[in-house]
Structures are given as C-alpha cells and as structure tokens.
Amino acid sequence: MVVSEKEAKPVGESKPRIDAREKVSGAAIFGDDIQFGNALLHARILRSPHPHARILSIDTSKAESHPGVKAVVTGDDFPGYIGLYLLDRHIFARDRARYVGDPIAGVAATSELIAEEALELIEVEYEVLEPVIDAEYGASPDSPLIHPRLEEYQVASFILPQPESNISNYFKIRKGDTDNAWEKCTAVVERKYRIPHIQHVPIEPHVAVAQVDESGEITLWGSSQSPFAQRNLIAQALGISQSDMRVIAPYVGGGFGSKAGVSMESLAVAIATKVKGRPVKLLLTREEEFFTAFVRQGLIAYFKMGCDEKGNLLAMENKFYWDAGAYTEYGVNITRASGYSSTGPYEVPNVTTDSYCVYTNHPVGGPMRGFGMPEMHAGLEQCIDELAAAISMDQVEFRRINCLKDGDTLVTGSKMHPTGLSQCLEKTAEAIGWGHKGEPSAPNKRRGKGLALMWKAPAMPPNAGSSAWVELAEDGRVTVGIGGQDLGQGVFTVAAQMAAAALGVPFEWVKVATPLDTRYSPYEWQTVASRLTWSLGNAVVNAAKDARNQILDMAAEAWQEEPENLDILNGMVVSYKSEREMPLKDIVIYGMPKPDDQGWIGGPVIGRGKFMPDYVTGLDPETGQGERAVVHYTTGAQAVELEVDLDTGQVEILRGASAFDVGKAINPDMVLAQIEGGFVQGMSSALFEALDLKDGYVQNPSFVDYRIATSSDVPGGIQAMIVEVAQDDGPWGARGVGEHSMVPTTPAIANAIYDAVGVRLEGPPFTAEKVYLKMLEEGVVK
C-alpha cells in the first residue's frame, strides 16, 4: 500500500537505531548473557566422528553414573522426525550417523567440565559406511544411499524428492525450445563452476537454554531468527502442543541464516525434558560452530548460454548440483529458488534448468545470506561477461540490452514488475568509471574492473504471514509488537518508523516490544528472505492504521464530526473542520466524554494488523512455468576496481560501487549500511573463505584457519547507492535488501580479475596462491 507523502515522516529519514545505545553501553542482552543462577545445567553433545556410519550400539551407563551428571539422552529417547520442508532428521541420530558432528548423545551436568567428562564415558559402536563427498556423484545411480527411506519422509507439496536416490528435491524449467535455439546463436559459452561450502560465522556462537516445567510446558531461550518456526517444529517433533512451547529470543549477535529454522536448539530442549524444572544451556564452541551449525551449501554449476549477433540472449541450459549435506532444513528450497531464478535478471526465451538438491556426508547445508543466489550468480555473471566478449560487445552494453525491464517475461513465464535494474546498472557503471582503465600503483601490478547484476526473490512458502500490534499508554506513547527479529539489519528501528508514520506520532515516542517472546509477541513466520521490511512492515502499518481508526472514530463521535475531517499529527488529534485538537495522552486509555457529557466513549487502544501474500501460485512440476512464482524481485548491480599482484597473485580490492532497487528506503542510512556490509561479506567469501572438506572432515574449524575479512582487508571506499522504483504492495513501496548486497560481489570480483590479468578460476576463493598458479598455468607470469 502506498501511503501519501503527508503521512510519510519519519519514513524515508535516517533515524538512529533504537537499539544502538544498549549495544554500545554493554547493556544489550544476548542469549548467553541471561542469568539462570545455580539451577543451570550445562549440556554437551557427543558427535559422530565418522561422515557415514551405522550406529550399532550406544552404552551410556558409565556416563549416567558419573557424579554431577543429571541426564544422558540418545536418539532412542526421541523417535520423532523434524524438518522445515522435508522431515528428514531426528533430534539425535538413530541407527545411522550422516556427517562428522551428527549428534549421537547429549549430557546435562552441573558443569561444562563434568558434561565433557561424561561424553568420554559413552561407548558407541559404529560400522563405518562409504561416505558420499561429491554432489554430482551423489546424484548418480552409482552412489550409496544416505537416506534409504527418503520416500517415507513427510514433505511440503512444492518439494519433490526422487525415490531411491540421494536427491531430496528436483526442480526443472522447460521454457521455449532450447534444443533448437543453439543453431540460431552467434556465440555460445559453456562453463562449469564449483562453489565451496562456507560458514556464516556470526560472531555470537549459537546458544540455547531450555527448561521444562512440571506440567510439561517448555521454555526455550536462544539466539534465534525463527522463534515461531522453532515453536512449531520442535513441538511437532516432540509430539506436544505448540502452545505448550514458548520461545524467548533476545538480541541476536549475527545470523545470516545460520540461526533460522531449527538446528541445535532442539538438542537443548530434548535434554531438558529429562531434567524437569532445571534450565539446560547448550553453547556451541567456535569449533562446533564451523561444522555442526548450518553451512552454506556447496554447488557444482554447469552453464550454457547463447546470443545472436546483436547480443540478444536466446537460450540458457543450466544444471545445478547442490551439495546439501547430511540433512536439508532449507536446502530443498534453495534448490527450487535457484531454479526459478536460474536465468539471472535477464529475459531469455528458451531455458532448460535442472536443479538438484543432493544429500552428501558433509555438514548440514542451511540458508545463508542470499539463499543460493550468490553461489548461482558467481558463475552465471561470469558467463555473461564471456558471452559479451565472444561477440565483441561491451559487458555493460550487453547487460543493458538483456537485463529485465517492466513487463519482460521471466524464466517461470510470468511478467516482471516495475524494476530499477537498468538504473542500478547505469549508476554502478558510472560510479566505477566503466571503460576507463586505471594506472596500476606499481609495475608488478595489474588493474581491472568488473561488474555484475543480480536479482533475488524472497524464497518462502506462498503464504508466509506477519502480524503486529500497536498499543498506546497513558502518556500517548506507543509500543509496537512484532515477531520479527533484529539481527543487526535494523528491523526494530524500521518498524518504529513505520508505526510512527502510519499513526501520526513522533519517532521518539515509539518503542518495540522486546525481547521477542512467542507468548506475547505477534506471529511472524521467520526473520529470513529479506522479507520483513515488506511483510512485517505491512502488518505494522495495518496495526497502526487500526489504532488510528479507533482513535479517530472515538474523537469523531465525541466531537460529533466526520472521521474523514480528523487527523493525528505529531501525537495530537486534530480536526481540519472545527480546528479542535486533543493530545493522544488524554484519550487513548480513558476514552472521551460523550457529547452530552453523560457517559464515555472509547477505552484503551490496541491496533492489530497482519499481512500475508495471497497471490503466489504453484509452478508446473514438469516445466516450472506458472502464474506467479514469487512475491517480487529485488534487483541490483555491483562493480569493483582491484589490483592483482603479478609476483604473489594477491588480489586487492581498491573500491566498490553498488546500487540496489529497494522500492523505497524507509531508513536510507541503514540501507546504505546493509549495502556496504554485504559488499564486504561478499568480498570475504570471494577472496578468503572455504570450508576445507577432506573426506567429509572439516580441516579448518577456527578463525585462524578459516579466514574472514578483517579491518585491514576493506577497500578504500564503497559507493552505495539507492534506487527507488516502488513495490506495488510494499509499505511506501519498500522491498528488502539485506541479503542482496552480497549476491553480485563474487562475479564482479572474478570479472575484474579477468580484466586485470586475463584468467578465470573454477570457483572462489580467489586466494593469492590460486590466482598465482592460474597465472602461471596460462603463461601470464613465468
């Protein structure tokens, strides 16, 4: 809903974060900061040392009699299945362990040390099985099966597991006639890319504290992007009612997807069921964080694309093998999202895509900022550069011709909504000085520029909902209830801005009801998919309007005027007709006297609002074609200028430029902060990051061996730019941008490396060693 400009303030203003003071003073409470006193028990988890093994026996008797141990649990205690789209795992492994780190048993004890000692006393007998460590092989009929009972698992209707295989979802696009399109192409590029697993590494490790009371009601405190999904999924897995499960979610010290859905929280809850009344804390070590929390899936991607002599894209044929790991909380939907977005932000008449989600004996793949899009665009946007070069066309010009515009036909057959992608392209190209080659800073260096486009839709069930409430107090000030989490992206501040604007009060009057608590907070599907500003924002606006209508109806009756002539401005009810005015504080709790002064009207004001998209349709399972696959796409562009050192292969990013079409920036400065932060996270994944997996074992589970960008790696400047082409059903036209900012970074850097030294690698990270060896191989250096 587009609300008039008059009502817009403070929307569109760069208000300060409402959580900043708490966070800089040390007062902000995160999960591990909550105090539980001496009743607290500490949990540790015994994990599989094998990537793939049959569990023959578990003997916990010695651990149980270890002094200080209060409970030991195994898979036998919890037979239920758990999962978001595909219920494919038990809380603790039963019968079979499927990755190094798979939980085998859990211990609760009076100290962490005692719990650690007890783990040593648990005896497990395994029969080691052949591990599957390559997704493409895993998808083949030759591969051993990791989930032999796949076809018996419960699954969402839009996920299509393939029986008797390791393929947990298979998504296809069949659009136009790809086979006969190639002969019409002047140039065709065919490439293979391999994108490694990476880790989210939020600086706050995962933590969960669970307590079960005498009646069986469960309370879970945790660092969570998804308190409501955890309530739902954990209750289902334990066979209890959702209303007997309460999740309290304080501040989250970084999520990036790793704290979405259910992961280690279910372990803490399961153990707590055996020690009623006592809170049980599970805090992952940094080492566990690297291989037992969700990782970003690996990807093997094949692209083939062709264009005519004028540069029009005619056909694409893409094949994606997603290395989903042992279980697939979100991977099945990443596979689907990459399928229905598989052309990138381009109009392509003939498309064949096969996207496979493949079980392997690797760590569990989960959602990570971008939800498959950074991995997919990494290769796709390099092919676009190569195809432009093949017909001797400038890469920006090629993108200008092909990039999606309003009304273009999408890969799924539906039409593109109004988008500022072309503007993003022009702004980014101009900012980076496209077409002008800079002078290297030293004789042994080479300079290059690269650019990439992106698109991404919120990938979620078609009916993911949001709700909100708005309540006023005796002083006329406002509390907004939401169920969406602030991971640092700033949703609490943005919710307050939107409530203030829609109600008609100053921003400083609005507080957000935190911490999130499923008992008191209104429902929110999850804090994922960059969907909150849009979806939760609509719910907040609806709640504020509901409160506003209650107030205006009351004042109209009391003043015997029409509500249409009344307004709320700066916390004051005003009449444009009679010019009467009344501060909110005088009327929002106690109501107003009736016109004849005999009795009262109104009473405490609480507005309620919700939002749920009702227009998303399914896709044909054979062709991937449908009316409307997603709610919308956020689009954008990114460019970099870098230098490659010929002596060492080291890549230094000199500067970056990014533009994204956010529809409407509710808080422009926080949008820019997302764009900058995403650039650096993308840069980090492009230059440094890969989980070093050897036969299923992660070799580098520490910050020393798994390097992320530090202060010394950041470029001199990142020019972040906002484009605003309104979303028809976004609040003030807004759509999300949190994840998008790291989607085009890897291919932009790859294209710039090619521009500098003429080499391309099979995949990131573009470490000095790999770049140098490639330059050596291709004769760039001797």
Contact code string over 689-718 relative to another protein, x by CB under 8 A: -------------xxx---xxxxx-x--xx
Q: Tokens for 206, please give them.
A: 């995962």
**How many residues bind to another protein according to rule CB under 8 A?**
57
Cβ closest to another protein, residue 155 vs residue 673: 673
Rg, Å, the chain Cα set? 27
Nearest CB to another protein, comparing residues 327 and 688: 688
Instruction: Look up residue 519 and give its DSSP letter.
Output: T
Q: Per rule CB under 8 A, is residue 288 in the interface with another protein?
A: no
- Among positions 482-521, residues that touch another protein (CB under 8 A) are 487-490
Contacting residue, 5, 16, 130, 140, with another protein by CB under 8 A? 16
DSSP 8-state class, residue 575: E
Give 22 or 394: the residue with its C-beta nearer to another protein: 22
Q: Which of 588, 670, 737, 748 binds another protein (CB under 8 A)?
A: 670
Which of 560/711 has CB closer to another protein?
A: 711
Report H helices in 181-330.
Answer: 227-238, 265-272, 286-292
Whole-number Cα distances in Å, 669 to 14, 128, 174, 490: 5, 54, 42, 11
Burial code of 247-284, b = ≥16 C-beta within 10 A, e = fewer?
bbbbbbbebbbbbbbbbbbbbbbbbbbbbeebbbbbbb
Nearer to another protein, 38 or 57 (CB): 38
In our burial notation (b when 16+ CB lie closer than 10 A, e otherwise), range 758-779 reads: ebbbebbbbbbebbbebbeeee
Extract the tokens encoding 59: 């003997």
Q: Give the nearest distance from C-beta 34 to another protein in angstroms.
A: 9
Among 29, 39, 56, 128, binds another protein (CB under 8 A): 29
Stretch that binds another protein, among 26-34, 74-82, 293-301, 599-607 (CB under 8 A): 26-34
SS3 322: strand
Shortest CB 19 distance to another protein, Å: 7
Which residues in the 561-600 window bind another protein by CB under 8 A?
none
415 binds another protein (CB under 8 A): no
Q: What minimum distance in Å lies between the beta carbon of 289 and another protein?
A: 8
- The strands making up 123-128's β-sheet, listed across from edge to edge, are 96-97, 53-59, 123-128
For 23, list phi and psi in degrees, rounded to 5: -75, -30
Residue 253 interacts with another protein (CB under 8 A)? yes
Question: CA-CA-CA-CA torsion for 290, 292, 295, 297, nearest 10 degrees?
Answer: 130
Residues in 189-228 at the binding interface with another protein, rule: CB under 8 A: 200-205
The residue from 9, 23, 62, 191 that contacts another protein (CB under 8 A) is 23
Strands 600-601 and 651-661, bridge-based pairing: unpaired
Shortest Å, Cβ 673 to another protein:
5
| Dihedral angle, C-alpha 597, 600, 604, 610, nearest 10 ° | -110
Minimal distance, residue 690 CB to another protein, in Å: 17
* CA dihedral of residues 294, 295, 301, 307 (deg, nearest 10): 90
C-alpha 395: how far from chain center: 30
Beta pairing, strands 566-569 & 572-575: antiparallel
Active site residues: 739
Q: Is 111 a residue that touches another protein (CB under 8 A)?
A: no
User: Around 710, how many Cα atoms within 13 Å sit in the side-chain half-sphere?
Assistant: 5
Rule CB under 8 A: say whether 57 interacts with another protein.
no
Q: What is the bridge-based pairing of β-strands 218-222 and 245-249?
A: parallel
- Tell me which of 65, 243, 285, 444 binds another protein, using CB under 8 A: 285
- Which residues inside 640-669 make contact with another protein, applying CB under 8 A? 669
Among 7, 11, 12, 32, indicate the residue that binds another protein (CB under 8 A). Answer: 32
Q: Among residues 681, 719, 746, 751, which is the contact residue for another protein, using CB under 8 A?
A: 681
Please, which residue, 40 or 473, has the CB nearer to another protein?
40
Q: Is 38 in the site for another protein (CB under 8 A)?
A: no
Task: Fill in the DSSP letter of residue 78.
Answer: -
332 binds another protein (CB under 8 A): no
Using the minimum distance from each CB to another protein, give the nearer residue, 140 or 710: 710
**In the set 4, 26, 157, 436, which binds another protein (CB under 8 A)?**
26
Q: Does 20 bind another protein (CB under 8 A)?
A: yes
Task: Choose which of 73, 210, 237, 252 interacts with another protein (CB under 8 A).
Answer: 252
Cβ closer to another protein: 645 or 676?
A: 676
Looking at the Cβ atoms of 374 and 678, the one nearer to another protein is 678
For residue 558, give the nearest of 604, 503, 589, 598 by alpha carbon: 598
Closest approach of another protein to the CB of residue 202, in Å: 6
Binders of another protein in range 116-145 (CB under 8 A): none
Helix axes 421-432, 395-402, angle to 10 degrees: 170
Cβ contact 325:365 at 8 Å: yes
Answer yes or no whether residue 39 interacts with another protein by CB under 8 A.
no
Q: Are 158 and 618 in contact (CB under 8 A)?
A: yes
- What are the tokens at 726? 């309104």
Q: Between 14 and 423, whose beta carbon lies closer to another protein?
A: 14
Q: How far is the CB of 682 from another protein (least distance, A)?
A: 10
Piece of the chain touching another protein by CB under 8 A; list 405-413, 647-655, 678-686, 692-700:
678-686
**Cis check: omega of the bond before 10, within 30 degrees of 0:** yes
Q: Which residues bind another protein (CB under 8 A)?
A: 16-17, 19-30, 32-33, 35, 200-205, 251-256, 283, 285-286, 487-490, 669-670, 672-673, 676-681, 702-704, 708-712, 714, 717-718
